[in-house]
Structure 1
Amino acid sequence: MQAYEFINNLIPPLKLTDQAKMALAWMEEIRTDLLPVVDKGKFLGFLSDEIIFDLNDPEKFLEKIPLNSYNCWVYTDQHVYDILKISAEHHSNMVAVLDREMTYLGVVTMEDAISAFADSLSIQSQGSVLVLSMNMSDYSLAEIARLTETENTKILSSFISNDPLDDSKIKLTLKLDQPELRYIKATLERFGYKILDHYQEEAGISSEEDRIGNLLRFLDI
């Protein structure tokens, strides 16, 4: 799950000696609105079609055009989680990947990163999603797993975030391997766990749109 595994080799880097019109042509060809700019192996930032349209000078060389998100990069051995974090911080659909000598290696697109993240969280597996609220001091995944297993259900993955209803608590999102939640909910509530929400999924998820939709529901975005 390291960044180098998800480099998209179909995204070409631009050079400072390229012109804006060529950048637009490449963007149109590969259907993107963003491309990385590299000089002598060093990542300089991203060029967007919006910047080019605002300049309204297709003959202009990239060395004369200001770039965005020059800090939007990760090291090659960083986790896919870091890619998503950097992407969110810079509001960018691409993140550059550099080695430890700061040499540019390529980019990871958010579509590829989300797909990898979805795989890591068992999003495609049939089952259900359960969202709990609790104090951090009360959090014990081992205890929660024990309770769910009494109902012949296993936790495939879990995710912790802040509880939007109470800043003093955390929100625990669980992906379970069973679609039926009635008895699991009753058991957890009996032991004092507060259930915020739940999603019961259906089998046959195959499209990328459904895959990403399930990830967003899992993260409650």
Structure 2
Amino acid sequence: MSALLAEDLLNQMIPPLKSTDTTAKAARWLEEFHVNQLPVLVGRNYRGLITGNDLADYENPDTQLAELPLRYADAHVQHDQHFYRVMELAIQNRIQLVPVLDEQQEYAGVVTVSDALAAFGPVPGPAGQGSILVLTMEERDYSLSQISRYVEENNAKILSAHVVTDEHDPFRIRLTLRLNTDNMARITATLERFGYLVSAQFSGTAAVSEDEQDRFDALLRYLSV
């Protein structure tokens, strides 16, 4: 199965702004492209995101973006990072799109969370159901049929799966699963008992903390962005 990397999901329809652009142009583009944020560049270097709230404090339409204190300068991913990192970063920062940098650390484009999730597959059923689970393991230990059996023993099913080589260890893989349940506790306990490392999860189970519940709710809301 092909990996879902940030560079594979770049949205070519959303352009960046330049630091020399004005607040009037930024406001016009936010409306025109139906987004809540846009990246701002100095040359090919990413400097941050401009939002509608940022523009509200500047009445002069000719104010250049270079004069504004941009936020989210650290909210970006590398071109070869997995799509779940895009979602995680977007949810942590409550942003709609995530800038992507290339090998030279220059701006390559943006990935929207809705594009990332659409590429992974539609969420079945009503909002609030379903979850995403990311496992890390030695490549020799990978068996989707075995993992599926552990999931099904806990009254759930794997709806889709993607495998990518771990960016930090070429002998390990990262497996991202979409499940048809939001009750992850027994599934993760079973998988961990058999030696699988759960490296990330987005779940609506009542057992998670309030912060984790907010993150999952945000993830589901992004599906309709």
**Residue 187 of structure 2: SS of its match in structure 1?**
strand
Tell me, in whole angstroms, the C-alpha distance in 2 between the residues paired with 1:112 and 1:41. 23
Aligned residues: 157
* TM-score normalized with structure 1 length: 0.59
Give the TM-score taking structure 2 as reference length.
0.58
Contact 1:97 1:104 in 2 (8 A): yes
**What pairs up with 1:17-32 in 2 under 5 angstroms?**
17-32=20-35
2:149 partner amino acid: A
Task: Return the offset for 1:26.
Answer: 1.2
Structure 2 Cα separation of the partners of residues 96 and 147 of structure 1: 34
Percent identical among aligned pairs is 32
What aligned pairs does 1:166-185 form with structure 2 within 5 A after superposition?
170-172=185-187
Q: In 2 relative to 1, CA 130–118 (structure 1 residues): closer, same or farther, beyond 3 Å?
A: closer
Structure 2 regions of 5+ residues with no counterpart? 132-144, 161-176, 189-204, 207-216
Larger Rg: 1
Q: Any conservation in 2 of the 1:159–1:172 contact (CA below 8 Å)?
A: no
For the aligned residue pairs, the C-alpha RMSD in angstroms reads 3.7
Residues in 2 aligned to 1:61 and 1:18: alpha-carbon distance in whole angstroms: 5
The alignment status of 1:110 with 2:113, answered yes or no, reads: yes
Deviation per residue, 1:10-50 (Å, 9 max, x gap): 11111111110011111111112211001111000100011
Contact preservation (8 Å) 2:6, 2:80? yes
Amino acid across the alignment from 1:21 = A
Unaligned runs of 5+ in 1: 132-140, 174-195, 198-212
Aligned ranges 1:1-221 → 2 under 5 Å: 1-118=4-121, 123=123, 142=146, 145=149, 148=152, 155-157=158-160, 158=177, 170-172=185-187, 216=220
Q: Which amino acid aligns with 1:2?
A: L
* Distance of 2:11 and 2:151 partners within structure 1: 42
8 Å Cα contact 2:39/2:46 also seen in 1? yes
